[in-house]
Structure 1
Amino acid sequence: MSDNTAVEMMEPDTEEVANKENSKECEYYQTVLRPMMSGGHEGELCEWLKQMGLLRRSAQCSNPDCKGRSPMCWRKARIVDKYNWACPDCTRKVSIREGSFFLSIKCEMKAIIRCMLGWCERTSIDVTSSQLDLKQHVVRRVYERCTDVAQAYVLSRPQDWLLGGDGAVVVVDVFPDGYMSERRGTGRDKRVLCIADTGHVPARIWAALLEHAGQQVGAQPGTVDEVLGHVRSHVRPGSTLVVSERSRACPHEMLQGIPDYPSTISVETLMGLDLPGTRRIQENLETIWHSAVEVCEEIQEMPTRSGASLLNEYMWRQLFAVTPSSAMQSLLHHIADQFPLQD
């Protein structure tokens, strides 16, 4: 692939990116869920959650004296959920949340749904806490559960993160060493490998903490071998790699001549094609990396495990959170898949 062709393929479609980011209101919540959020509609909400596979449709008593003779009954109760499962043959009662995503969260079901909406809309914990009059630790718990679901999906579906292919341009860089950030890194920075497939609009980006993920590819953490392992795992053969010369972990000269990737171009070579006084390549890279840089900056003050989780959430959002509506629908379906309930 010629250098000029690579430049053209790295040019983002800014109008299409803007269109994808315009829808901020969750239409799915407004049309499907909001009518069930008001008082007196708890039964309707619970029935809908059953249909979605988010609550049990039936339950059996675990009391050995009952021996499962009769199914438990769905009954009204003076508790936060307004209902529970009750055995007709003994006094045993079971929470309607048993075995579900909602079990360990201490607030009303409708408040959990509203917190999930806040997570989908990327509303801060303090704002959601204020809007719903919930303690911040409760909102944080819901947000963490949602992130866990997103992370579990990403880790279980590596095939969704095979990037590039014949004729595709894939940009590889390390935050903050390369061209993702103007600031220069320090020895204390969490270094993040980012791989961007410019064939998607916006670019689809796979990301991982280098020092955290090295063992996954059988390499010493934070080394060129680790980066090469991730490139081979996540970039399809035939892709054209664009790599900077100033990143210590993935220098251009080390990625040249890798089998299956016959074309490797340095960022600096492409910058040399810019007209005098212009920054076309740099501006393209800033557009490609914009969302990734925000996440990379955010994880710098986080514990390593939390930072890795946030990167996986970021990747999930690229696939499923183009709008809050798509995020909410996908989240509910993935919860149902990850918390199968035996009726």
Structure 2
Amino acid sequence: MEADSTTAEQEYECDSSTGHRENILLNELSRNYGYFRQIVLPMLRNGNEKDLLEWMREFNLIQPSVKCAKSLPDCRMVITASKVVDKYQWQCKTCNQKVQIRENSFFKNVYCPLQTIFKIILAWCQDMDYEHLSNVFGLKKQVVCGIYDKIERAVYGRPLYQLGGFGIVLLVDLYPDFVDELYPVSSKNDSAIKTQHKILCLADTNEIPTRYWLHVINGSFSFPSENNNTTFKKMNMCDETLHVIEKFALPGGLCAIGGGVHLTSLRENLRSSSMFEGVITMNHLTTHSNVDMQTFMINRIWNPIIRLCEAAQDLPKNKIQSYLSCALWRWQMESSDPFLSLVHLISQQDYKIPTNNKNSSKPR
């Protein structure tokens, strides 16, 4: 097997001006990222490639071991220094068979150095513009976009938390319906509101900052499988919203649902189920809350979500869910270390190509 990381190293080298801009950007991006700055950044310098690979093996970002394709009795693959971009590759001590370090990993078919990929992962955590990154790192835009796409597939549809639970009030509403309820006087005309994509909004009132989940209404519900294939089941809006709540919310507690006409059937179905201890309307909850809670419910709970949903309206419909998932992920990770959490998430994905169905490996 020919290792496809044997591309000449000079293909990825940057000129001095690019290197200077890269250093300025890295100092800016890593300022509040202690783990990246102290642990990862030193390994990204020239001469530390072996340390970087060992760290990647410890985090399961690359395979800890591989088998030789010839499978002779004495075959044994070891990491050896080589004149390839990654500086090392797997090589059989018996038959000299070679396999690239990136085989069956997130980094497969990403045509830039490993060091640059980790810098771009850090930039993604801060929602850095991909065109700016392509200029700074001297890469083609499609290379940076490809890395962003791989990250977004790892994050897509995987909230950090389930919402609600016993003793907690779960809020459920539909964008843009609640915009008219909260802000009757709107600068937007009725036709603009009606043509917008509807987004189901869930909020957990027990946490500070508030935890959210957003789901764009598609008329279907997706079930991602372990090999990155996705099965879609067509359903009406009521069934779709019900499936989302069952998947992303914990049973128990109180569920407060917006008063919009599109959620009437959902309220009835949830009341007839045993998932929640009680199902009420948002107006009922607000009326029976204290002044502070009323202010929070009316003026604050949906404000950041409205801005996010409005920003998503200009995107193609098949891109909205990915955009919302990634925005929420960044938002919820602000208080921790997004880079380290994302590295762990990437390491948990299965990038192996099924041997019995090569076509099924194509990502969503």
- TM-score band, normalised by the shorter chain? 0.7 to 0.9
Partner of 1:17: none
Q: Deviations over 1:157-195 (max 9, x none)?
A: 9xx42x323432222111111137755653432111011
| Preserved CA contact (<8 Å) 1:243 1:251 | no
Partner of 2:262: 249
Other structure's SS at 2:218 match: helix
| Preserved CA contact (<8 Å) 2:175 2:309 | yes
Distance 1:68 1:29, change over 3 A: farther
| Selected match of 1:322 from 334, 339, 342 | 334
Q: Which amino acid counterpart does residue 334 of structure 2 have in structure 1?
A: V
The CA deviation at 1:110 is 0.4
Other structure's SS at 1:40 match: coil
Q: Deviations over 1:191-214 (max 9, x none)?
A: 110111101111211221122545
Q: Which amino acid counterpart does residue 333 of structure 1 have in structure 2?
A: H
Q: Deviations over 1:98-149 (max 9, x none)?
A: 1111002110000000010011122222233333232222111111111111
Partner of 1:195: 202
Q: Is it true that 1:313 corresponds to 2:326 in the alignment?
A: yes
Normalised to the residue count of structure 1, the TM-score between the two structures is 0.75
Partner of 2:314: 301
Provide the rounded CA distance (Å) in 1 between the counterparts of 2:304 and 2:220. Answer: 21
- Work out which structure has the larger RCO, using CA pairs closer than 8 Å and 6 or more positions apart in sequence: 1
1:204-243 equivalences under 5 Å are 204-214=211-221, 220-222=235-237, 224-243=238-257
| Selected match of 2:33 from 21, 26, 32 | 26
Provide the rounded CA distance (Å) in 2 between the counterparts of 1:279 and 1:251. Answer: 28
| Preserved CA contact (<8 Å) 2:91 2:98 | yes
Q: Is it true that 1:79 corresponds to 2:94 in the alignment?
A: no
Q: Which amino acid counterpart does residue 118 of structure 1 have in structure 2?
A: A
| Preserved CA contact (<8 Å) 1:171 1:195 | yes
| Preserved CA contact (<8 Å) 2:106 2:351 | no
Provide the rounded CA distance (Å) in 2 between the counterparts of 1:312 and 1:89. Answer: 47
Distance 1:124 1:244, change over 3 A: same
Partner of 1:105: 110
Other structure's SS at 1:193 match: strand
Mean Cα deviation higher: 68-77 or 261-270: 261-270
The CA deviation at 1:294 is 3.6
Partner of 1:44: 51
Mean Cα deviation higher: 134-143 or 226-235: 226-235
Other structure's SS at 1:301 match: coil
Q: Is it true that 1:287 corresponds to 2:294 in the alignment?
A: no
Mean Cα deviation higher: 32-41 or 288-297: 288-297
Q: Which amino acid counterpart does residue 195 of structure 2 have in structure 1?
A: R
The CA deviation at 1:287 is 2.7
Distance 1:250 1:55, change over 3 A: same
The CA deviation at 1:303 is 3.0
| Preserved CA contact (<8 Å) 1:37 1:45 | yes
The percentage of aligned residue pairs carrying the same residue is 26
Q: Which amino acid counterpart does residue 313 of structure 2 have in structure 1?
A: Q
Q: Which amino acid counterpart does residue 329 of structure 1 have in structure 2?
A: L
Provide the rounded CA distance (Å) in 2 between the counterparts of 1:204 and 1:331. Answer: 18
Distance 1:153 1:169, change over 3 A: closer
Q: Deviations over 1:275-309 (max 9, x none)?
A: 9xx99846544532344334322332333332222
Which 5+ residue runs of structure 2 have no aligned equivalent?
Answer: 1-29, 224-231, 353-364
The CA deviation at 1:329 is 1.4
Q: Which amino acid counterpart does residue 32 of structure 1 have in structure 2?
A: I
Partner of 1:335: 346
Other structure's SS at 2:89 match: strand
Provide the rounded CA distance (Å) in 2 between the counterparts of 1:112 and 1:195. Answer: 34
1:158-177 equivalences under 5 Å are 160-161=161-162, 163-177=163-177
What is the root-mean-square deviation in Å for CA atoms of aligned residues?
3.6
Distance 1:78 1:238, change over 3 A: closer
The CA deviation at 1:235 is 4.1
Q: Is it true that 1:121 corresponds to 2:135 in the alignment?
A: no
| Preserved CA contact (<8 Å) 1:204 1:318 | no
More strand by percentage: 2
The CA deviation at 1:219 is 7.4
The CA deviation at 1:92 is 3.1
Report how many residues are paired: 307
Q: Which amino acid counterpart does residue 241 of structure 2 have in structure 1?
A: V
